[in-house]
Amino acid sequence: MKIEQVKVTVFTYTSNTVHDSDGHQHPGDPHDSGQALITITDDEGNSGHAFGAPESLRPHVIENYVKKVLLGEDPMDREKLWLGLARWQRGSGTQLTDRALASVELALWDLAGNALKTPVWKLLGGYRDRVPAYGSTMCGDEMPNGLSTPDDYGKFAEWLINRGYKAIKLHTWMPPVSWAPSVEMDIAACAAVREAVGPGVPLMLDANHWYSRTEAYELGLGIQKLNYYWFEEPMDEHSVSSYRWLAENLDIPILGPEYAEGKFHTRAEWIAGGVCDIARTGVMDVGGIGPSMKIAHLAESFNMDAEIHGGGSGNLAVLGAISNSRWYERGLLHPFVDFDQPPAYLNSIVDEMDSDGDIRMPMTPGLGEDINFDYIKSATVSEH
């Protein structure tokens, strides 16, 4: 088997979410949005597919880095190919991102699963065929009846529990919301959700990322009293000493890091250094499935959970193969967004939730994405 083609198809679809000036996602009017599909094909006719951002998979990146490493190589040599790309990052002037690495590696895993007629989570050493989901909200906003008040969060939490979720994670208010951030309002929202769902539902908080130590400590104490399950990213994750201090001074488990650069090297420092109580990984954050598995197993060796950041087929495959993660993050959710409606480029979503609040692992070969190739062909903007 030899890789003979790497192709990226850029296409448009209608989206009803927008990003604010700080990058947070909110409901919005329907508009055209861009998406990219990377396809890797070998000389035996096997193909693998993965989605990514058009900016991450632009022609310069594919021609100057990805193709130079992949073409002519055995697609089953994922570790060799991943390391080849990862070592290009230093010389790429940050143009070859971890998200680009992840999309390429996901396509390689999908190719392997398709060639072997096996789901990726089983290739990884399958552990379970389903995982419970928590409902992960969008960030707070200023939309009437959206997520603009603590009462809004409480009402939405009730809806999420009735929908079948067994746990909920709040993303509270962050700039550019006019009065955010506010420790007082964050605690009020967390209290409203706890009152709405009762004492037995696991709740988590992902707060404003730029609080000071004293603000993060005050907020942590507040949600600790409300019996929240974990506390996530209240400060800049590059300040490792601040997170170590916070973990030492609060009883609530600290989870992280999420966005800190450095792949498994950075997560190793957090795990071994007592900086977090629950480790964090995610395929798009650390460059793919392979590094995510390394982080999960490293955490396991420290008798520590490794919770997975975000949803999607790659993260679901990791969850199907590890034992030390409790939840699948489903979202981002909002009263004005129907998360169960697939985008036009998918025939169905990969993370449909059943009546028990579980996500079942896909049983089809590869990553299990049900891609609408006819739609993508009709909406294609460019190919390279």
pLDDT score of 365: 98
- DSSP code for 334: -
Of the pLDDT bands very low, low, confident and very high (cuts 50, 70, 90), residue 341 is very high
Query: Which token pair is 79?
Result: 């570790």
How many CA atoms lie within 13 Å of 65's alpha carbon, on the beta-carbon side?
A: 27
Kindly report the backbone phi and psi dihedral angles of residue 66, in degrees, each rounded to the nearest multiple of 5, phi listed first.
Answer: -65, -50
Of the pLDDT bands very low, low, confident and very high (cuts 50, 70, 90), residue 293 is very high
Please state, in angstroms and rounded to a whole number, the distance separating the CA atoms of residues 8 and 189: 43
- DSSP code for 42: E
Query: Which token pair is 70?
Result: 């992949």
pLDDT score of 257: 98
Residue 337 CB coordination number (10 Å): 18
Give tens-digit pLDDT for 151-188: 999 999 999 999 999 999 999 999 999 999 999 999 99
Please state, in angstroms and rounded to a whole number, the distance separating the CA atoms of residues 320 and 359: 10
Question: Within its chain, how far is the Cα of 183 from the centroid?
Answer: 25
Of the pLDDT bands very low, low, confident and very high (cuts 50, 70, 90), residue 300 is very high
pLDDT score of 220: 98
Question: Which position has the token pair 């929240």?
Answer: 228
Closest CA to 296 of 275, 317, 311, 273: 317
Please state, in angstroms and rounded to a whole number, the distance separating the CA atoms of residues 7 and 39: 5
Question: Average pLDDT for residues 63-69, to the nearest whole number?
Answer: 98
28: helix, strand or coil: strand
Q: What is the mean pLDDT of the chain?
A: 98
Tell me how far CA of residue 93 lies from CA of 41, 214, 319, in angstroms.
28, 36, 33
Closest CA to 207 of 234, 179, 180: 234
pLDDT score of 232: 98
Give tens-digit pLDDT for 83-108: 999 999 999 998 999 999 999 999 99
pLDDT score of 146: 98
* CA dihedral of residues 333, 242, 190, 22 (deg, nearest 10): -40
Tell me how far CA of residue 10 lies from CA of 99, 144, 326, 354, 379, in angstroms.
16, 35, 35, 32, 8
pLDDT score of 156: 98
Give tens-digit pLDDT for 342-383: 999 999 999 999 999 999 999 999 999 999 999 999 999 999
Give the strand pairing for 25-42 and 47-52. antiparallel
